[in-house]
């Protein structure tokens, strides 16, 4: 099994990228990080303070969905806002949905589901400020630590914020096994 994490090169919430990454690696699951370019990914803590810098493994434009079982999308307001306007990232989400594969999105990351037309008919959670956007896109929004939705032929795992990372990361590992 293998997992793909997508991130922009700036603005991803550090722990929302590193926690699932480390959990997947610790479980022996192959994981790749894709970003728009191979430039370092500068993460942030709390959307403002510089966090760790990580190197992506591949450019998003080079990703073949067939090579991965799970797509993980970390949040960070800046990251999530930029991902949802990135045509390649939106296409990757659509491709994972069409292939019936699992997508895991935390905090602000579910914004991209609205752009990909993948929120409608799903039950999910997110950072609370996204609730109206997601409901307007046809989703059912719940304020829970981890929401698993298997409707419409693919699994969606969502969590609200970094405080939910233990449950989120465990669910990502379970999905990738």
- 108 counts as catalytic: yes
Question: Which letter does DSSP use for residue 21 in this model?
Answer: H
Tell me the longest C-alpha to C-alpha distance in the chain.
Answer: 39
Catalytic one of 3, 63, 92, 107: 107
- 107 counts as catalytic: yes
Catalytic one of 84, 101, 108, 122: 108
- ∠ Cα 30 175 118 (to 5°): 105
Distance CA(99)–CA(158), nearest Å, equals 19
Give the closest residue to 105 by CA, choosing from 54, 148, 47: 148
Q: Where in the sequence numbering do the catalytic residues fall?
A: 107-108
């Amino acid at each position: 099994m293998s997992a793909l994490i997508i991130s922009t090169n700036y603005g991803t919430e550090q722990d929302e990228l590193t926690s699932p990454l480390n959990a997947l690696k610790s479980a022996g699951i192959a994981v790749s990080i894709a970003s728009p370019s191979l430039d370092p990914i500068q993460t942030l803590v709390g959307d403002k303070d510089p966090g760790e810098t990580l190197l992506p493994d591949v450019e998003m434009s080079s990703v073949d969905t067939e090579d991965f079982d799970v797509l993980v999308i970390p949040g960070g307001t800046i990251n999530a806002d930029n991902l949802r306007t990135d045509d390649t990232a939106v296409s990757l989400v659509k491709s994972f949905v069409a292939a019936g594969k699992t997508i895991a999105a935390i905090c602000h990351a579910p914004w991209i589901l609205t752009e990909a037309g993948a929120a409608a008919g799903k039950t999910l959670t997110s950072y609370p400020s996204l609730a109206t956007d997601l409901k307007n896109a046809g989703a059912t929004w719940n304020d829970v630590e981890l929401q698993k939705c298997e409707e419409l032929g693919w699994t969606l795992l969502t969590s609200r914020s970094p405080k939910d990372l233990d449950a989120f990361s465990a669910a990502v590992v379970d999905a990738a096994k």
